[in-house]
Each structure stands twice: as structure tokens, then as C-alpha cells.
Amino acid sequence: MTDRLDSEQVRKAMDALYEQIAAQMPGDARIVVVGIRTRGETLAARLVGRLQAERPQLSIEHGVLDITFYRDDLSRREGAPLVRATEIPFDIDDAWLLLVDDVLHTGRSARAALDALHDFGRPRCIRLAVLVDRGGRELPIAADMVGLRVSVDDDARVQVRLKENDDEEGISIIRQDADGR
């Protein structure tokens, strides 16, 4: 069984996320926004675009992080991992860093991203922003800013689709049927 949230609901979640970010963003710090590949990258680009349009006085640096080699399940995956470039061509030391991802579930991707970021420097602080928090944490990690909270069973999947990546906008909550499908 699949529940679908449409593009209007994605827009509302993005608006809620943006408002939280704008409220927490310091006015006196160097600001860096880093998106986790792939959909976190897209969400980060959207957020940076809106921040720069609505707050042109802010100087915001924007990067992209690939966490493939930092994942703790890398050895369990079959086949060669798809590794893409990390693009952080600036110093993150002493920056107010916003880490962006599409879905927060177990916390393992966020943990991998934190490990990867520390290879680039020591930010003043790191804040985690996610479009969807679906619960089910395995690690003590929480998002600082959340667009939408959903409560789903551990065996369900939450899939975010963005027009830049998927040619459509939406969020699907895919639940297993009683017979395991």
C-alpha cells in the first residue's frame, strides 16, 4: 500500500523547513549550506536560492557531500558503490553549517555526513535540516529543522521525489502489505 503526498504538500513542507531555517540562522556568522547527495543536494540548492533571494545581505556558500565511503553499511551492500564527487571548495572552519537531507530515518546517513564533514574542517556548529523525519532512529541523532514529520512502521519506505531529480514532486510512503509485499 502506498500513500502519496502531492507537490502542494511538498511545497508546504519546504515552506515550513525554510521558515525554521530563517528563524535559526545567525546574522553574524559565515553561513555554509551542504546538501547530502542526491536529494539533499537538490533541497539545499532550493533553500540557498530562496535565502539569497529573500536575504541578499547574507553571504552563503553552498556545497555537496557524498557520504558513500563513510557509511557503516558499505561492506554489506552488493556490487560496487556509486561514488560521486563531494564539492566543498571552501573552508568550513568556524562556519555556521546547515546540513540538508531529504529523509531522516535511522540517523546513519547523518552520522556518516558528520564524519565526512569533519575531514573538511571544524565548523562553529552544524545544524541538520530534513524535509521528512519519519522516526525510527537507531542512533542518537535529531534534526534541528523539519519540514514534515510522519509516523511509519520500520518496514515502510519514505521516498521523496523532486522535479530536478525525478521529473515530478511528491512524497510516497510505501507500506508492506500483510503478506510482506
At 111-141, the pLDDT tens digits run 999 999 999 999 999 999 999 999 999 999 9
Handedness of CA 48, 50, 51, 53 (dihedral sign): positive
**Domain for residue 180, yes or no?**
no
* Greater pLDDT, 74 or 39: 39
**Domain for residue 179, yes or no?**
no
Question: Residues near 9 by Cβ (< 8 Å), separated by ≥ 6?
Answer: 148, 170, 171
**Domain for residue 105, yes or no?**
yes
Instruction: Give the span between the Cα atoms of 13 and 93, in whole angstroms.
Output: 30
Cell 519519519: give the residue: 134
Residue 123 phi, psi (nearest 5)? -65, 155
pTM of the predicted protein model: 0.93
Q: What is the domain range of residue 126?
A: 2-23+30-174
Q: Residue 15 belongs to a domain with what CATH number?
A: 3.40.50.2020
Q: pLDDT band at 72, cuts 50/70/90?
A: confident
Number of structural domains found in the chain:
1
**Domain for residue 130, yes or no?**
yes
